[in-house]
Structure 1
Amino acid sequence: MSVLQVEDLTVRLNTSRGAVRAVTGVGLRLAAGETLGLVGESGCGKSMTGLALMGLLPGNGRTEAGSSVRLDGRELLGLPERQLRSVRGNEVAMVFQDPMTSLDPTKTIGYQVAEPYRLHRGASRREAAERAAEMLALVGLPRPAERLGDYPHQLSGGLRQRVMIATALVCEPRVLIADEPTTALDVTVQAQILELLGELRARLGMAMILITHDMGVVAGHADRVQVMYAGRTVESAATATLFSGMRHPYTAGLLASIPRLGARRDVPLPTIPGMPPDLVSPPAGCAFAPRCARASATCAEAQPPLSGEPRHLFACFHPVGAELPDAGPQPDRRPRPQASAGLGARFPAALISAPEGQEIQGPEGPGGGTEGADQRRGELRDRPAAGPQPAAAEVPLAPRGPEPPPLLEVVDVVREFGAGGRGRRVHAVSGVSLTLRPGETFGLVGESGCGKSTLGRVIVGLERPDAGEVLLHGRPLSALRRRGPRRDLQMMFQDPYSSLDPRMRVGAILREPLRIQRVGSAREQLARARELLDEVGLPAQALERFPHEFSGGQRQRIGLARALTLRPRIVVADEPVSALDVSIRAQVLNLMQRLQRSHGLTYLVISHDLAVVRHLADRIGVMYLGRLVEEGTGEDIYQRPAHPYTAGLLAAIPVPDPDPAARAAGSAPAAAVRGELPSPLDPPSGCRFRTRCAFAQEVCAAERPPMRAFGDAGTHRAACHFPLRPPTGDTAPPSAPTRV
């Protein structure tokens, strides 16, 4: 029997631009102990569905007549608020996406976990505190009784999410709605949280709705999957059934857009062209038709019903695997500017899906409309190209022939920050050395707080190192003038919304570096801004828009265009796609690779997403708590990891395949990384990873492990006393590790 039954759920939002149907006709059933994965891009209605089930719609939202939400046969829609409060948090609970904004910063975590128990069960303060400590222990919070008096800001992101889960489960609800519970977390913490949710579901016998945009997450943690697009369900089936035979082109596109560890790096990622429709004025027919390669004229005229087999429903006239109709009039699927669901206009992406082995083209062909760029006058014209343009074929992972001199060198860089009085210091970067060669991509991976972004800021000159040196063209960066060679270093920031001035139009944002560097006349600067927009796939009209008028993916394109304004040699990209949907992420990654080939760029890509780094990077460095613990080619790192931390990161990557054998083959055979990253205020002695390492011994606490070479190519090195494979010249295997 179904614990939760939803029929024809329709949510209407009244906005300044008109009424929006954020959810239309959604139905679902959920049995006890079952997990349903709700998947789709941002704005497809996933979170709004969850909020409607909880009775937490925004003030401008309401469910329309005919909608039904029944919990154990009891209708929830239309209940008086007083009765609904007795259900919310007691029988149905929700884990929200961002625990930092969902937890009250003025109240202790003990108070917040205990509050629902006191309200719904009438418990005393002492009983509620004991229950809170019990739940915090259940979700794996270290020393729970001691942490009851802590505030949210004193916890890491992973621990805050555990507190959110404890708060939601304190009354043992029948249904748990988890809205993107791991989106903002590192891959290691994500794996722990998902494992925890699965264990608690089995222990408490509750049903769960897992809302996510990550197909890898639902593949390993959902019994059934329901895919949403433009507020509607477009496909629904058991997880194994869906992944073995996707029928809706949108579902297939989501899966194809995910970077795979074993995929060829020289082949662009498949993408879903365009953007989701404006739901203020939705299309008459299938909402996905303007982005679908299988669409016909029928798709533009009528809404496909949700049909198919009883256990595999899909809403498509021309499903994947079926023959397309004979030639006939086809709808015009060329991208057109369209108004966004928010303010201003949303422009469709310029990148489109391409057959394997063919380059994805921009508006003016493979070069993205850059012809004429060398005919600019003044410094815009005379500035040399950023180096040789490598061919589109994959760059060999192993070096061949003499290597060119490094373009940039980081030599024993140390960066620390003061932390109040008593001489306390945050050890952000501790003696890191690496090199960047012309035209290559160096990926820097690690958990949040390991020093990746700080090192990136040191490299571009936004932070001064306390010790060590950054060399550009063999010269110390500190000795170079800002209007000289230092222009060769530019940064692409993690959050394009906060890094773009909201009071400046895009044209002014792109012209600002030229104006500060006194490059070109006003007319030449404007021409350069138009050229940059063309290169990143945005129309010239975008010059007059403000940042808030664009989607996240389009803002990231603007951030990349700004980084390229001065024709740099090196771009430091700090988490360039972490905040984007998987389909938009693929577009931006393809764009970065195309621009690298056309401009001869050198990238330093900072990310916690190892699949993204594998797709982009020629060489990869792994950082842990301020130190570089392993470095090598992509093949070295992903096929032959030497450091237990690297292998643990790889083992935690979600594999978009529900088959256990395929999931095991897609990850490294290593012990998972457990626990939280130690504080950089007081890092462990010796090997800093030893407190989380299953193989640590006494020497790990006493001595810092040196960097040693692995393999014959000389491209692979790691710092570990007990590596997973013998170092170069050591024929004996490492000593048998002792688990601690």
Structure 2
Amino acid sequence: MINVADLKVTLNGRALVDAMTFTAKEGQTIALVGASGSGKTTTGLALLGQLPPGSEMSGRIAIDGRWPPRRGDVAYLPQHPSTVLNPVRRIGSVLRELSRLHGTSVPGVLAAASLPADTEFLRRFPHQLSGGQQQRLAFAQILLAAPKVLVADEPTTGQDPRTRAELTATFAALPITTIVLSHDLDLVRRLADHVIVLRGGRVQEAGPDILGRPRSDYARALVEAARPVENPVAAERPGPPILTVRDLTAAYQGPVLRGIDLDMAAGERLAIVGSSGSGKTTLARCLAGLHRPTAGTIALHGQRLSLRRNRAELARVQYIFQDPRATFAPGGRILDQVARTAVRLRGLPTAVAAREAGVLLENMGLPAETSGRPARTLSGGELQRAGIARAVLADPDVLICDEITSALDPLTQADILDLVTGLRTTLILITHDPIVVARSAQRVIALKEGRALQERGRRPAGVADRRQPRGG
């Protein structure tokens, strides 16, 4: 079905992919794994006939014996399904249009994607679905087009364990040849017939059981970085609370948070876990002053934070977002964008802020030659380091990290977790990832339907073994 021989993609004289060779039979799943910048996405885009602007390709690609492939033979599932779902059209309308175009059955693909086919569901808009439902709806749209090959780019990123298990089951039932580009080694273990480990655009090793018996030092490091690690730090609070939350309630169109109470001491590390829609991000945004609660109080060092926070109050609780690319201007220099935090929130002169930002970025692994580049040229891991530096430059008392490692490979994830846990600040981790909890949290609060269900000194039972699927 797929034959790739000696594929090479270069950009400005630098090889993004070099000497890539593999084959995939009809119905097989091939997984490409490796750190950010290893060549996974470039290889996937090459199968679509799409390459970075200005790049050059050599070697041979054949899909079902042809190149370029027939229109519709290859489909692409992006990391964020919202980018391919029409936000202003009802689900059923789009599916019926695709069905007429390709001569396929809407009920059949909805069943294959584990989605309901009733009128109430089909009348919804994409934004009314959970993240997992949006991903399965994107699957359904692809199946209606009846492609022969699917390239799936990080399909489980940012999903809770239950949704991840559901998506994995949906993937496993797909009757088409699939190329998975993923940092999620659990997904790869469960789905892949063949695994290719990439580093710097070159194949390090390949085979059916690479993650079970890695041979190269690099593959062993990837696998080891994804293993649960027992947190040796005691869970006792080191002192009196500096952050106090009482009876916090918040809503969007309906109630989202209901009566949340929380105390955190200086330097404490708390993980907030729960399924998609449980209220984790809403709670974090309320704490950071990004969403106005409908009731309750938030106090820092005994002083109640106002609903409309001034710049000094905003600086004291900082928020690091899941997708750093969405928070930096693509063409602006990283140094300038990070330094702006100290200018706006601390009132520093521009030159002083730039000096502080430069030193901080250097300490976080981004030297001047990197921080002086525009944001669009940095990798995901580099941008996440810049996002951390931008928040830290505000000199906060509390730092909130919202799924900040969900799109990163295991090695980069471990580096970022070491970076944030080494900061001398109170830390709140919003996460679906048991690895993040095990490595970084002293306490865990689980939310369900906007309520705090449980609190533990370590983590919820079973969270340490990421390889155990959670049902649903």
Q: TM-score range by the shorter chain?
A: 0.7 to 0.9
Corresponding residue for residue 240 of structure 2: 405
What is the letter of the counterpart of residue 245 of structure 1?
R
Which deviates more, 206-215 or 483-492? 483-492
Match of 1:102 in 2: 84
- 1:77 aligned to 44, 61, 67, which one? 67
Separation in 1, partners of 2:89, 2:313: 51
2:188 alignment partner in structure 1: 218
Match of 1:43, SS state, is coil
User: Can you list the C-alpha shifts for 1:623-666, whole angstroms capped at 9, x where unaligned?
Assistant: 1222211111115x235xxxxxxxxxx59x752xxxxxxx4xxx
- 1:478 is paired with a residue whose SS is coil
Q: Counterpart of 1:395? A: 233
Q: CA offset at residue 508 of structure 1?
A: 4.0
Distance of 2:99 and 2:81 partners within structure 1: 19
Match among 137, 154, 159 for residue 185 of structure 1: 159
Deviation at 1:463, TM superposition (A): 3.3
Check conservation: 1:410, 1:469, Cα contact below 8 A. Answer: yes
User: Structure 1 residues 479 and 117, CA, compared in 2 at 3 Å: closer, same or farther?
Assistant: closer
Q: Contact 2:183–2:408 (CA<8 Å) still a contact in 1?
A: no
Deviation of 1:93 (Å): 4.6
Residue matched to 2:406: 578
1:503-533 Cα shifts (integer Å, max 9, x gaps): 7644444444443456566665444333322
In 2, distance between residues paired with 1:53 and 1:513?
41
Question: 8 Å contact 2:289–2:307 — kept in the other structure?
Answer: no
CA distance in 2, matches of 1:479, 1:136: 44
CA positional deviation for 1:542: 5.3
Instruction: Tell me which residue corresponds to 1:282.
Output: none
- Relative distance call for 1:523 and 1:246 in structure 2 (3 A) is same
Query: What is the one-letter code of the residue matched to 2:387?
Result: G
Residues 532/24 of structure 1: CA separation in 2 closer, same or farther (3 Å cut): closer
TM-superposition CA deviations, 1:680-731 (whole Å, max 9, x none): xxxxxxxxxxxxxxxxxxxxxxxxxxxxxxxxxxxxxxxxxxxxxxxxxxxx
CA distance in 2, matches of 1:654, 1:540: 38
Secondary structure of 2:422 counterpart:
helix
1:488·1:570 contact (CA, 8 Å) conserved in 2? yes
- Aligned letter for 1:228? L
Q: Which amino acid aligns with 1:143?
A: A
Shift of 1:489: 2.6
Letter in 1 for 2:34: G
1:21 and 1:516 map into 2 onto residues whose CA distance is 40
User: In 2, distance between residues paired with 1:32 and 1:541?
Assistant: 46
Q: Compute the displacement of 1:584 (Å).
A: 1.8
- Aligned to 1:135, which of 109, 132, 145? 109
User: How big is the shift at 1:5?
Assistant: 4.4
Distance in 2 (CA, whole Å) between partners of 1:189 and 1:9 is 37
Q: Does structure 1 conserve the Cα–Cα contact (< 8 Å) formed by 2:130 and 2:276? A: no
CA distance 1:631–1:117, change in 2 (3 Å)? same
Identity of aligned residues (%): 33
Deviations 1:263-308 (A, max 9, x none): 133xxxxxxxxxxxxxxxxxxxxxxxxxxxxxxxxxxxxxxxxxxx
Higher strand residue share: 2
CA contact (8 A) 1:220 1:654 kept: no
Distance 1:410 1:46, change over 3 A: same
Determine if the alignment matches structure 1 residue 464 to structure 2 residue 292.
yes
Question: Which residue of 2 is the match for residue 30 of structure 1?
Answer: 24
Any residues of structure 2 matched to 1:205-284 within 5 Å, and which? 206-239=176-209, 242-258=210-226, 260-261=227-228, 263-265=229-231
Paired residues for 1:122-161 under 5 Å? 123=103, 128=104, 131-144=105-118, 146-148=120-122, 150-161=124-135
- Unpaired runs of 5+ residues, structure 1, are 266-393, 418-424, 640-649, 656-662, 675-740
Contact 1:133 1:144 in 2 (8 A): no
Residues 1:99 and 1:572: Cα distance change in structure 2 (over 3 Å): closer
CA distance in 2, matches of 1:509, 1:50: 31
The answer to whether residue 3 in structure 2 is matched with residue 10 in structure 1 is: no
Alignment CA distance shift 1:506-1:6 (3 Å): closer
Counterpart of 2:446? 622
From the superposition, tell whether residues 67 and 530 of structure 1 become closer, same or farther in structure 2 (CA, over 3 Å): closer
Q: Conserved in 1, the CA contact under 8 Å of 2:35 and 2:408?
A: no
Quote how far apart the aligned CAs of 1:589 are.
1.0
The reply on whether 1:548 has 2:383 as its aligned counterpart is no
- Higher mean displacement: 536-545 or 608-617: 536-545
CA 1:439–1:627 in structure 2 vs 1: closer, same or farther (change >3 Å)?
A: same
Q: Is the 8 A contact 1:445 1:610 kept in 2?
A: no
Of the two structures, which has the highest relative contact order with CA contacts closer than 8 Å and spacing of 6 or more? 2
Match in the other structure for 2:461: 638
Q: CA deviation at 1:195?
A: 0.9
What is the rounded CA distance, in whole Å, between the counterparts of 1:111 and 1:480 in structure 2?
41
Which of 416, 420, 435 lines up with 2:251 in the alignment? 416
Superposed counterparts of 1:598-609, under 5 Å: 600-609=424-433
SS at match of 2:241: coil
Q: Distance in 2 between matches of 1:183 and 1:521?
A: 39
Pick closer, same or farther for the CA change 1:513–1:589 going to 2, 3 Å: same
Q: Which sections of structure 2, spanning at least 5 residues, go unmatched?
A: none
The verdict on how the C-alpha distance between 1:53 and 1:525 changes in structure 2, with shifts beyond 3 A counting, is closer
CA distance in 2, matches of 1:54, 1:501: 28
